[in-house]
Amino acid sequence: MGVIEGVVALFTKQKCVYWGSPVSDGKGGYTFAAPVEIACRWEAKQELKEDYNGNRFSSQASVLVNQDIDRQGYLANSTLVALQAIATAKGYDINNPRDFPDVFIVRQFEKIPMVFADDDFVRTAFLFDQG
């Protein structure tokens, strides 16, 4: 672990649930890998951002994470245990993030290297409300 990643680990004391590896289902939607709980620092704040294609969007949150995540993946400001309880109570599919309210799409993911190291990064996801 590099210097910056060590500092990021000090700040990522919250937990969130991540559904990654989005694959087109051929019907306009996606399927995902099983959800996992990851360390994060969730900042619920709106800001105007621009994605890789130059499209502006209103980010609902910025989330500092300590691993790479996929654009078009989903994040929930929750624990996996809490979401599994909701899924059981409401009959939701835990593998489908769109079943849950307050789950956000990763619209933009930034991975910024430390100045003098190419293996030490700050990783931030910017989230879009799934509507």
Q: How much is the pLDDT for 79? A: 97
For 54-78, give one letter per residue: b (16+ CB within 10 A) or e. Answer: eeebebbbbbbbbeebbebbbbbbb
Domain interval for residue 115: 3-129
- Alpha-carbon span 71 to 75, nearest angstrom: 11
Q: How much is the pLDDT for 131? A: 61
The Cβ of residue 112 has, within 10 Å, a number of other Cβ atoms equal to 11
For the CA atoms of 16, 131, 97, 89, what is the dihedral angle to 10 degrees? Answer: 90
Instruction: Provide the number of structural domains found in the chain.
Output: 1
pTM over 0.85: yes
Q: How much is the pLDDT for 8? A: 58
Q: List per-block mean pLDDT (blocks of 10 residues) for the chain, which spans 131 residues.
A: 63 92 90 96 92 88 94 96 97 95 94 82 89 61
